[in-house]
Copies of this chain bind each other. A is one copy, B any other.
């Protein structure tokens, strides 16, 4: 169907090797021949077959991305960042949305290995890392983002400083005068949930505020658990004046619980959320939130990947930690005098 090197070679009565040299802009072709071949390539609209190249070169110039849910802003921005730098370097990405299912994750990983991806960028949900270890042993470069697996051996990763994220969130609340600050964090067997609790505690301790276990709740990053835990916090802590919620969906749930109780934000409860992008800019009050630099996470992961793919031999694994930001909007009352 499509034109191959052989076709061109035949038309011009030259060898396939010569045509290949021209296509790849290599030495040892006379100017006349090069000219002639170039014209023919143009005329017959030759397109190199990357599949054949990949087979020969043992490299597909393809990176697999496995994430739990592409409809979450957090992940779609990361993908945009990855795509941007990878494409500029001649790579393309195979995208896999596991829908938060460990089973599908495994299916996808096998598929990607069969497709001979050169590298893998993973936001894994699975707790079973047998397959992943196997993949790494195969020599496929793996980079973890968002959440870190518990592996003995070292590995590459790009994350934010999760402890610092909650630290600056809680510090902000403390600076505004709050003392009874609740938290809804995430699962403690995931680094994200765990680290975010650490930062909360550290902020309190460093400000000589006693840690009150009643103010600590653990959710599962989903909206429902934000809602439930907020109700719990409100019931158990009558004097709580502020809360930090460690994921966007839980933030939405928590706000609904607060409103349902007839409480006002920020007057009755000040709130700092997590990953609240609000592209519409229409949420009222606008939510003060921790923001991760998603596109930069994606870019950093992609750049690290490129580096790994160009190296040969020993690789010294790297953990790239980016800074979270506190985006001050209206849900803490910090802006009330500025308006």
Could you list which residues of chain A lie within 8 angstroms of chain B, going by C-beta atoms? 1-2, 45, 47-52, 54-55, 58, 60, 62, 69-71, 73, 76-77, 79-80, 83-84, 87, 92-97, 99, 104, 107-108, 110-116, 134, 138-139, 248, 252, 255-256, 276, 278-284
Tell whether A93 pairs with B92 under 8 Å between CB atoms, given A51-B55, A138-B1, A283-B283: no
- Add 16 more A-B contacts to A49-B116, A71-B279, A84-B97 (CB < 8 A): A45-B134, A49-B114, A50-B114, A55-B55, A70-B76, A79-B95, A83-B96, A83-B97, A84-B99, A87-B96, A87-B108, A92-B94, A93-B95, A252-B279, A252-B281, A283-B283
Per the bound structure, the CA–CA distance linking A58 and B278 in Å amounts to 45
Interchain Cβ contacts under 8 Å between A and B, 19 examples: A1-B139, A45-B134, A47-B114, A50-B114, A71-B80, A80-B97, A80-B99, A83-B95, A87-B96, A87-B104, A92-B96, A92-B111, A92-B112, A93-B95, A248-B280, A252-B280, A252-B282, A256-B281, A278-B280
Q: Are A114 and B71 in contact (CB under 8 A)?
A: no
Per the bound structure, the CA–CA distance linking A114 and B52 in Å amounts to 10
Q: Which residue of B lies closest to A1 (CB)?
A: B139
> When the two chains form the complex, which single residue of B70, B104, B248, B255 contacts A70, counting CB atoms closer than 8 Å?
B70
Per the bound structure, the CA–CA distance linking A95 and B252 in Å amounts to 30
Q: Which residue of B lies closest to A93 (CB)?
A: B95
Q: How far is the CB of A269 from chain B (nearest CB, A)?
A: 15
Tell whether A50 pairs with B115 under 8 Å between CB atoms, given A2-B138, A95-B79, A282-B283: yes
Q: Which residue of B lies closest to A45 (CB)?
A: B134
Number of copies of this chain that the complex holds: 2
Q: How far is the CB of A164 from chain B (nearest CB, A)?
A: 25
- Most interface-central of A2, A52, A62, A282 (chain B CB within 10 A): A282
Per the bound structure, the CA–CA distance linking A60 and B92 in Å amounts to 15
Per the bound structure, the CA–CA distance linking A45 and B112 in Å amounts to 15
Tell whether A79 pairs with B97 under 8 Å between CB atoms, given A108-B87, A281-B256: yes
- Most interface-central of A48, A54, A62 (chain B CB within 10 A): A54
Per the bound structure, the CA–CA distance linking A252 and B96 in Å amounts to 31
> When the two chains form the complex, which single residue of B54, B55, B73 contacts A71, counting CB atoms closer than 8 Å?
B73
> When the two chains form the complex, which single residue of B51, B58, B108, B116 contacts A115, counting CB atoms closer than 8 Å?
B51
Q: How far is the CB of A279 from chain B (nearest CB, A)?
A: 7
Tell whether A115 pairs with B95 under 8 Å between CB atoms, given A51-B55, A73-B71: no
Q: Are B80 and A92 in contact (CB under 8 A)?
A: no
Q: Are B97 and A95 in contact (CB under 8 A)?
A: no
